[in-house]
Amino acid sequence: MKALTTIACHECDLLYELSALPEGSVATCSRCGAVLQRHKRDSLDRTLSWTIAGLILFVVANAFPFLALKSGSLVRETTLITGVVELYKQDMQSVAVLVFLTTILFPVVQLTGMLYLLLPLKIERLPWWKPALVFRLLRSLQPWGMMEVFMIGILVSMVKLAKMAKVIPGIAIYSFAVLIIALAAAAASLDPHLVWDRLEIDR
Amino acid sequence: MEGFATALEKSLVSCHSCHLVCRATAFHGKGEMICPRCGSVLHQRKPRSLSRTWALVMAAFIFYIPANVLPITTVISLGHAQSDTIMSGVIYFILTGMWPIALIIFIASIFVPLVKLFILTFLLVSVQRKWQWRPKDRTRLYRITEVIGRWSMTDIYVVTILVALVKLGGFATIEAGPGAIFFAAVVVTTMFAAMSFDPRLIWDSLETQYE
């Protein structure tokens, strides 16, 4: 396990010969300061558990209303998808599609994709259908999942609406809050180098 | 650590998506090279990085104008319609004393996209002019543009939520305005612009000096 691997800094292209990093340590580029590699503790287990938690929370967050507006006897509830549908009806298709992709489709693809890859790896097997392609796709989708930005959007809207009517936070808003933590923790505990190494074994 | 050799100088190429380092033999011919580990096409530098990034930055600058001039929401209440641009929303929050919200929207929607575009323009010019000035800090600036762009989506999400909630039996409705489309376009194009810029170009002009 002491074999050296050649690695090039992805931000300044400087070459390094890296030996296996001790657990919990980080290798940074001496020239530009980019993180070259990070050996994370129990990366596979932690990412897997945060991913499963994230999927459960995602279902709850989408199934229940996250905000309700009360004015007199009128109550209007909203789930995540109603806003998208409403925008679509108002001839704002492009914006509706963007919101749908960044807050619903990409996060759910990210979560199920990670589960699909990590569950077999956990029991020392390879996922059966093109694991390399799936992981590559997930890595490029990563910046487009914007749940945490959506949470700020919820907070701003609550303040904005507070003057018009009574705003009641729904169950889903709490699952949103925890979901964001789960997504961030899953992303932070993932070690892409480890996954690539494991996927390479059977080739 | 060895004496400052880059993958390019050693005829090696590192994969954009899985970072595997491969020998760049196929590049002397015309053919494409595929990463043996993840299957993506290998490039020593992101292809046509400068022209792509310039095009996207220019497009974003253009979209930025209608995004700020056109209304992003129209509130229709008792037959009376009132349109708001991003800036008038910020001013409304300042006037009503909710300055933390005003600050969030101002930073996310007006400040961040502009800063990001100016940083990318600066980086593009610096690479084309082969400046030697503080490559480490310029790389750091690039990292900032990668991280901050997504936060500009805040206003789009606020509009989505408002549109969904405020339909109180015809008493008041909120409609999204055309500004929202241009604003979404600004966010998406600046994100693609940051992705198409290759930070290694900042360092390439330094290497020629060592030769």
Q: Which residues of B touch A140 (CB under 8 A)?
A: 17
Q: Looking at residue B27, what is its pLDDT?
A: 60
By C-alpha distance, the chain B residue nearest A75 is: B168
Instruction: Tell me the nearest-neighbour CA distance from A155 into chain B, angstroms.
Output: 9
Residue B23: the pLDDT is 84
| Cβ of residue B17 closer than 8 Å to a chain A Cβ | yes
DSSP labels, A121-141: HHTT---SS-HHHHHHHHHHH
Distance from CA of A21 to the nearest CA of B (A): 15
Together in a domain, B156 and B70: yes
Least confident of A80-94, B118-132, B156-170: B156-170
Please tell me the distance from the alpha carbon of residue A184 to that of residue B144, in angstroms, as a whole number. 18
Q: Is the pLDDT of residue A76 over 90?
A: no
**Residue listed under structure tokens 């059977």:** A202
User: Domain extents for chain A?
Assistant: 1-39, 42-200
Could you report the predicted ipTM of this complex, rounded to two decimals? Answer: 0.89
- Residue ending a domain, choose from B44, B63, B79: B44
**CATH number (domain holding residue B52):** 1.20.140
Q: How confident is the model at residue B109 (pLDDT cuts 50, 70, 90)?
A: very high
Residues B133, B36 share a domain: no
Per-residue pLDDT tens digits for B171-194: 678 889 999 999 999 999 999 999
B30-66 confidence digits (pLDDT tens):
567 888 888 888 888 898 999 999 999 999 999 999 9
- Nearest CB to B168 within list A76, A86, A136: A76
- Band of pLDDT at residue B207, cut at 50, 70 and 90: low
Q: Are residues B14 and B64 in the same domain?
A: no
Closest CA to B124 of B209, B200, B54, B196: B54
Domain that holds residue B18: 1-44
Q: Given an 8 Å threshold on Cβ–Cβ distance, is A153 in contact with B154?
A: yes
Confidence class for position A116, pLDDT limits 50, 70, 90: very high
* Stretch B90-109: mean pLDDT: 91
Residues B30 and B96 in one domain: no
Same domain? For B113 and B27 the reply is no
Q: From the list B135, B146, B158, which residue is nearest A160 (CB)?
A: B158
pLDDT digits (tens, 9 = 90+) for B5-27: 888 888 888 888 888 888 877 56
pLDDT of res. B183: 96
Mean pLDDT for all residues in chain A? 89
For B6, name the nearest residue in chain A, comparing CA atoms only.
Answer: A14
> What percent of chain B is modeled with pLDDT above 90?
53
For residue A21, give the DSSP letter: P
Q: Which helix (H) or strand (E) holds A27?
A: strand A26-28
Is there a contact between A157 and B165 if contact means CB atoms under 8 Å apart? yes
Task: Tell me: do B201 and B115 sit in the same domain.
Answer: yes
Nearest CA to A31 out of B209, B202, B18 is that of B202
A142: DSSP letter: G
Q: Which two tokens stand for residue B145?
A: 């543009």
- Cα–Cα distance for residue pair B41/B13, rounded to 1 Å: 11
With CA atoms as reference, the chain A residue closest to B37 would be A200
Closest chain B C-alpha to A132 CA, distance in angstroms: 5
Q: Stretch A140-166: mean pLDDT, rounded?
A: 89
Same domain, B11 and B93: no
pLDDT value at B1 more than 60: no
Residues of B in contact with A15 (CB under 8 A): 2, 5-7, 10, 12, 21
pLDDT reported for residue A149: 94
Q: Does B164 touch chain A (CB under 8 A)?
A: yes
State the best of A156, A164, A196 to mutate against chain B, taking most chain B CBs within 10 Å: A156
Which positions in chain B touch A193 (Cβ < 8 Å)?
Answer: 19
**A72, pLDDT greater than 60:** yes
Residues B1 and B85 in one domain: no
Res A202 pLDDT > 60: no
Q: Give the best-scoring range by mean pLDDT among A32-36, A78-82, B162-166.
A: A32-36
- Residues B25, B52 share a domain: no
Q: Any idea which of A77-81, A176-180, B88-92 has the lowest mean pLDDT? A: A77-81
- B14 and B90 co-located in one domain: no
The reported pTM is 0.90
Contacts of A161 in chain B (CB under 8 A): 162, 165-166
